[in-house]
């Protein structure tokens, strides 16, 4: 039944042991980044994930106002998004299955973990997709029993509810303007960083060329040219 419901939501779904990744069409999600999960997972993901580090730069917040367990925290681009996602039903799903939830990550800017070149920043903006990513602590991981799988059914229902929820969630005018501003800021910062990186690389190339020319002359047998170079 759950597979049937997922198939009929016109989304691309990938499942690995303990993880469900839903890729939405562009028109099916507004512009926001949000995550909820264990405090440890939120701290780690904020450092590791490109979108969470850029759009949710504030420290993870407590979910106490929503009645979430003390062990969980929230990362959100703006308060409007948190209030929109964490309705009574979502809070019920998260609270009742807190022991099985590592993280829930909704993002229109999802590109995965930060990707760095060997030197400095990446030279192009990463490709982004509108994504819902659920990471669960599957009971009996690696040796899952039918009973363990049954205990995961509420989480799959939560995935289905989340897809429908995100498709309906739309920011108000002020929220939309803030989201657009955030995305423009991230792109501008990236362009500044890559410009500085290119300048630095060009300077390095000039210095290497100058050093190579000096070494070539020093290796020649003309004492007069070597003396002039040393002076």
7, part of any domain: yes
Query: What's the pLDDT band for 197 if we cut at 50, 70, 90?
Result: low
**Cβ atoms within 10 A of the Cβ of 120, count?**
14
Q: pLDDT (tens digit, 9 = 90+) per residue, 35-81?
A: 999 999 999 999 999 999 999 999 999 999 999 999 999 999 999 99
Q: Is residue 154 part of a domain?
A: yes
Q: For the chain, how are helix, strand and coil distributed in percent, rounded to 5?
A: 55, 20, 30
Per DSSP, what are the bridge partners of residue 44? none
Residue 201 has pLDDT above 60, yes or no: yes
Q: What is the pLDDT of residue 216?
A: 72
What band does 189 get if pLDDT is binned at 50, 70 and 90?
Answer: confident
The reported pLDDT for the residue numbered 193 is 75
Regarding pTM above 0.75, the answer is yes
Each residue's pLDDT tens digit, 114-170: 876 555 555 677 899 999 999 998 776 666 666 767 778 899 999 999 999 999 999
Examine the fold and report which residue of 170, 197, 212 is the final residue of a domain before the chain moves on: 170
Of the ranges 90-94, 113-117, 220-224, the best mean pLDDT one: 90-94
| pLDDT for residue 3 | 57
Does residue 171 surpass a pLDDT of 80? yes
3-state secondary structure of 135: strand
Is residue 166 located within the same domain as residue 192? no
Is residue 179 domain-resident?
no
CA dist 36 and 86 (Å) reads: 10
Query: Is there a single domain that holds both residue 206 and residue 117?
Result: no
């Amino acid at each position: 039944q759950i597979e049937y419901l997922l198939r009929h939501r016109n989304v691309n779904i990938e499942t690995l042991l303990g993880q469900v990744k839903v890729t939405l069409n562009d028109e099916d999600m507004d512009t926001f980044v949000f995550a909820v999960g264990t405090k440890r997972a939120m701290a780690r993901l904020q450092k590791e994930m490109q979108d969470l580090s850029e759009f949710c730069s504030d420290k993870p917040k407590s979910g106490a106002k929503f009645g979430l367990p003390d062990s969980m925290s929230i990362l959100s681009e703006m308060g409007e998004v948190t209030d929109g996602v964490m309705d009574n039903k979502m809070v019920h799903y998260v609270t009742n299955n807190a022991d099985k939830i590592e993280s829930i990550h909704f993002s229109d800017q999802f590109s995965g973990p930060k990707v760095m070149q060997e030197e400095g920043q990446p030279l192009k903006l990463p490709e982004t997709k509108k994504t819902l990513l659920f990471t669960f602590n599957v009971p009996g991981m690696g040796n899952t029993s039918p009973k363990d799988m049954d205990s995961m059914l509420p989480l799959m229902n939560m995935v289905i509810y989340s897809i429908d929820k995100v498709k309906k969630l739309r920011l108000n005018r002020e929220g939309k303007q803030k989201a657009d501003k955030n995305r423009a800021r991230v792109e501008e910062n990236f362009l500044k960083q890559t410009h500085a990186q290119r300048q630095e690389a060009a300077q390095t190339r000039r210095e290497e060329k100058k050093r190579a020319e000096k070494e070539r002359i020093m290796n020649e047998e003309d004492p007069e040219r070597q003396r002039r170079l040393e002076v």
